[in-house]
Structures are given as C-alpha cells and as structure tokens.
Amino acid sequence: MYRTMVRKQHRSGALVLCLLLSAGALPGLEQTIELGKESLWKDMQTMDGVLTLPGRWGFKDLALADGAYTPDSSTDILLHFDAAPVADATGAWKLVRGQPILSSANSAHGRSSAAFTGSRQGIGFQAPPDSLFGAGAVWGDFTVEFWLFPATLADGEPVLSWTGSARDAPGAPLLNQSLQAVIRDRKIAWEFRNLFVLPTGERVPVDLVGTRQILPRAWHHHLLRYNSREGLLEYMIDGVPEAITHVTDTGRETGSVAVPAVGAVYAGPLILGAGFTGLLDELRISRRFVDDAILTRFLGRTGAATSRIIDLGFSSTRVARIDAVDAKPSDSAVEYYYQAAETWNGKAMLKGETDWVPFIPGADLGDTLKARYLQVRVELYPDGSRTASPRVSSLAVVYEPNTPPAPPAGLTVTPGNGKVTLTWRRVNDINARGYLVYYGTAPNNFLGTGASAGDSPIDAGAVTSLVIGGLTNGTLYYFAVAAYDASSPRQQSDFSPAVSARPSRIYN
C-alpha cells in the first residue's frame, strides 16, 4: 500500500511540474509590457511638447514642456534658473556675485526658480561691453520682464537693481545712475535716476508704480517696456496695463523723447534679489518692445508622446487592456490612443497609414484588439488657465500571446511503390486548425517538388494521415509535419522530428 501511495504522489507531482513548465506556452495567460517606471520612458519614440520630470515612485512622469523663452537676436540676458550654476542662456553675461538657492518645488517655468531669503547680497551678473548695460551704451526700445512669487512684500524689498556712473562733460562732477524695481506699499515701483537723457542732454527722472497691490505667495508676470519712437514707458502685470508714462520733455505724447544712456565711467552689475524674500523666475531683458510675452506656463497647445512599435510576438494576439497611471490637476486632461497592425514593413505604422483609435485606460477591450504590432500615443492638455499640466506615470499593455500550436508528435512513414503513407498524432491544442506536410530529398531541406499532391508543403487539412504519391522509386525522401492555427496570417508550429523513407517497386 505504501508503494502505491508513493507512485500516486510521484505521478501527481510530475503532472503539476509539467503544467508549470508548459504554462508559459499556454494561450490565455496574460503578459505585460510596461512603458515608464523602470524603463524611464525610453520606449517612447517621439515626444512633441512633452518632457520627463521626477515623478511617482521615484521614477519619471510624462508632463507638458513649458513654454519658456529661448534666446533670439534681441535677447540681452535670459535667466531660466533651471540648473546650477545659474547662467545666462545667451552666454554673454557673467555671474560675478553670489549663487541663488534653486527651488524645484515651485517655479513659474521649467524645473526650478531662484529662491531669495532676504539676504542683502543677492546675485549679480556683469554685462558684456555690447550689452544695454555696457559702459557707454545708448538704448532704443527695451523690455524687462520676470515672474515673481513674493513671500513678505515688505516695503523697500528690491527685486532688481543696477547702478552706474556718468559724467556729462570732462571735468564735470560724477552722476550716479540707477535703475531698480522695488516693493512699495505691496506694489512694484520702477525707479530710474539719471538714466534717461533728452536730446538737450538734460536727464529725466522716471518713477512708474503699478495701481494694484500684488498678492504674496502667488506667481505673477511683470513686464516693463519702452517704445523709443514715442517715449512710451509701460508697466504690465499678467498682460494687463498697470501704469503708463511718456518720457519726453513735456511728459506727454508730444515733445522730445528721452532715451536711456549708460555712462562711460562705470557700469555695475545687475543685482537680483538683494534683500528680497521670495522666488524669481524667467528673467529676460530684450532690446525690443515686447508684445508677444509668454504669460502662461503652457502655451495652450497639446503635447504628445508616441511609443515605439511594440512587437507582441504572434499574430492575432489579444490585447486585454491598456492600463495607465496618471494625474490630472484642475481641468487638465490626458487622451489615449493606439494603432495596431498584423504586418509591419518598418514604415507603414510610422507614416500613419493605420488609424489612431481612442481607448479608456483599464477598460476591457474584449476581442476588439487583436494584432501583432501595437503603438500607443498619449496626448496631454493643460488646464484652462494653462498653469497646470497632467502627468502620466506609467502605461502597461496587458495581452494574451496567441502562441502557435505545438508541433505534431508520433510521425511515422510507410514506403510504397512510388508513394509513402504518413501518420501522426493530433495536436492537443484548441487553436490547431490543420497540418502542413513538408518533404524533400536532403536532410532538413524540405523544398521537394513533383509529388502528385503538389510541391512542399502540402496542406493536409485537419486529417492526421496522408498518402503522398508521384514519388520517384529509389530516391530517399525526408518528411516533417507542422501544425497551423486559424490566425490571419496563420501561425505555424515548429517541425515535428523528421522521418525518411525510400519508395520502391518491392512494395507492390
């Protein structure tokens, strides 16, 4: 009795082991291909207006790229504050004083902003000789703009300042020149001293103060611009005019226009944040009257990321669902699409010759998506104020491989006069639909021709035996059988072990 129990246990264990070993080949077992997480989105083929940022689980998220400025021919200085050490994007201005703390937790654009804690030092950038702030420079149109996130709004906090020295004539006394944007009564006041000069040589002091009190702990875009043909100096917050003046000898639209002229004696550095508490971002000074300022974090256009073409391995593979983990703050949005094909010549899908089909992440696709090749696309939309971006942390394609049938077993061959008879065991696979019989006259070369049933391979249908006539007596033939399924295009199993036979008249 003990031996009987041992034999039963052995057979049961062997059965379980066989099932485990063959489980990977069984149809209907789900597999997953993940985009994102550990792959860090390396499987994304294109990203248009989309970038990766530190995100969920310590990996990377897809997010909209900011509509940040890039230097152009009119850019004098451009500071993004996105990486240390902080540098002018034009490469012309040099950091000569301090180094700001970069805050990656809060920014108006890009990855971080400059954080100031009220220290009187701030940071300083020295202008090149051909800059607006170079010694002896005479300005035309100009614009100064930045994003500001004040923390305290204490009176007298300077956001930016510049000083220089001029002498109107040889031997004349030195004149101190200055420009500063300073907080007064919870407003930004722009102050120019001895910088604007009339054609007569007379210097015109300028003070321009906004009408609205600004809010602490909120980002706002500040812009000061000057039209040197009209003498128009305008201050705007978030694109809305706050204050306007005419820097002329009359103080009105008519009259002689004054322009800024930097003295040749001394031109100091541009100082940012000395005594200021809060955040500063995207400072740009331009040699033009800017009327196309970027006033939102995102430009309102969608961003899109498209995966590489994913090979699921087998024809008619069923995609059960496509999962996604995302975050959509405010009324931002993400839309998901796929395109699929059974065959791919390397270019068809990339050229958009197949349709993009929308899908809902996590929804059961049933039997609607069966293909070998798959491509996934995500489109990201900012919120209504264009200040918040959605984020996508991962995409996962969950599919059931449509594996080919197993090769037939038990192939035998019986020679006859000008013919052979082949028999094999039926493949125990619900996907098997028929069998192909291969023959040839050399080992592992099944390119035979001339049989009465046709050239190799012969489609035997669902039968498990076949008589092949029209063979040449005395010639040694080799045979193998493969099963195929109902996929389109159909999939074929590996060859069965080959057998050989030599037809002869002795078998009459």
Dihedral sign of CA atoms 492, 494, 496, 500 in order: positive
Read off the CATH number of the domain in which 444 is found.
2.60.40.10
Residue of 418, 422, 413 whose CA lies nearest to 506: 418
- Residues 297-332 have pLDDT tens digits of 887 778 999 999 999 999 889 999 999 999 999 999
pLDDT at 351: 53
Output the pTM of the full model: 0.70
Tell me if 237 is assigned to some domain.
yes
Residue 405 domain flag? no
Pairing of strands 303-307, 44-48: antiparallel
Domain edge (last residue) among 286, 320, 352: 286
Residue-wise pLDDT for 490-500, tens only, equals 899 999 999 99
- Among 335, 366, 400, identify where a domain stops: 400
How many angstroms separate the Cα of 425 from the Cα of each of 74, 483, 496? 81, 11, 11
Residues 344 and 416 in one domain: no
**Domain hosting residue 449, numbered range:** 412-507
Give the whole-angstrom CA distance, residue 25 versus residue 21. 9
* CATH number where 56 lies: 2.60.120.1020
Other Cβ atoms closer than 10 A to 406: 17
* Predicted local confidence at residue 167, as pLDDT: 94
**Is residue 344 over pLDDT 80?**
no
State both tokens at 129. Answer: 């000789």
In a domain, residue 393? The reply is yes
**What are the distances in angstroms from CA 126 to CA 71, 81, 96, 131, 280?**
18, 17, 6, 10, 18
Determine the number of helices (DSSP H) and then strands (DSSP E) in the chain.
1, 34
Predicted pLDDT of residue 99: 87
Confidence of residue 429 (pLDDT cuts 50, 70, 90): confident
